[in-house]
Structure 1
Amino acid sequence: MNRRTILRGLGAASIVAVVAACVPMSEQEPDIVDIAASNDDFSTLVAAVQAAGLVDTLKGDGPFTVFAPTNAAFAALPAGTLDDLLKPENKASLTAILTYHVVPGAVTSDQLAGKRLNVETVEGSSVQVDGRTGVRVNNANVTAADIKASNGVIHVIDRVLLPPAG
């Protein structure tokens, strides 16, 4: 009788294991690049990230905080600037501009509230983040904050940030 109970238990466990194997695993949360690529308002940013060869980096483990300019932010650059930056011979300049939008670590807006900070970017220069009234980064406003990704957080900004000349 004891043996039957054990065999029934093993049989039930086998059935549970087979059923569990048939149930699809939940999909992993999308990363920064996946989120940007799924939003038409970031098509220019995605094209720039691809041209700079930064896709694999921004799909990496991170965590990263990305201040993501919209298509309108890129369109506000002086005429011809974006076209020039997307040329292969200007890849280093494009990379510098894009990495100036990235800060190591996942920083959410509640961590910035009421503070004014100079934060070093992946590019190596600092951006000024002002969370005292809304959130501003240099001269750009954060228009949507705290878009969570599997490898960090995205804050949408209304201007392209340009690193200091040097």
Structure 2
Amino acid sequence: MRHLPLLAAAGLLLGAGAARAQVCLQVMANDSRLSSVVDAPNRTGQSELLHGSGPFTILAPDNGAIARVPVSIRNDLTGSQPGADFDPVRGPSVVNAQMIDGRHLAQEVAGRDRRTVRTRNGNMLLIQRGTDAQYTLVPERGGFGAGGIREIEPAHVVQADIPCSNGVIHIAGRVLVR
């Protein structure tokens, strides 16, 4: 009976190790909050990249964020109907606007108010930590697919630091393009 807690703890550690052994795309596929975005890397040719060694930081928009995005951007990613062609330039650019090269954890902003990074599509992204300790992603104006002169509403990080073998995932409440 004494060994039962140790066995349970070992099981939890083994389960956590198994989750870390999966590449980011597999981890995203196992999260029901991300079901709307999982197919976009496959459709746009980015899944091969995401199966690579990375490391990557993925700012994965949740299902609610995908539902709020204009239909034109959804069509760029998935086509206008199942089996339809997607935009071969804008589709990958939209996916790359949600990715940063390297593994960036929330703690990088923990002691600072803000940090600026460049997404894989070249857009600058300001990451700030509010007084409420919530992380916010603010795409800067300009850049391809970033809204030009229009400002994009900040995205709040719904959940930070989801580990995967080739990077880390942060679930965002908005898509980072318009």
In which range does the TM-score fall when normalised by the shorter chain?
0.7 to 0.9
The residue that corresponds to 1:143 in the other structure is: 158
1:73 equivalenced with 2:65 (yes/no):
yes
The residue that corresponds to 2:105 in the other structure is: 108
Match runs of 1:1-166 below 5 Å = 29-79=21-71, 81-87=73-79, 88-113=85-110, 114-132=112-130, 133-138=133-138, 139-162=154-177
1:78 deviates by 2.5
Percent sequence identity over aligned pairs:
28
Q: Distance in 1 between matches of 2:33 and 2:124?
A: 26
Structure 1, unmatched stretches of 5+, are: 1-25
The amino acid that maps onto 2:157 is: V
How many pairs does the alignment contain?
138
Q: Distance in 1 between matches of 2:176 and 2:32?
A: 20
Q: Distance in 1 between matches of 2:55 and 2:137?
A: 19
Contact 1:51 1:91 in 2 (8 A): no
Q: Distance in 2 between matches of 1:67 and 1:85?
A: 16
Residues 39-97 of structure 1: per-residue CA shift (max 9 Å, x gap): 12212211111111111101111111110001110001124541353222413111101
After TM superposition, the score normalised by the length of structure 1 is 0.76
1:123 deviates by 0.9
State the Cα RMSD in Å: 1.8
Structure 2, unmatched stretches of 5+, are: 1-16, 80-84, 139-153
Moved more, 40-49 or 141-150: 40-49
User: Higher helix fraction: Structure 1 or Structure 2?
Assistant: 1
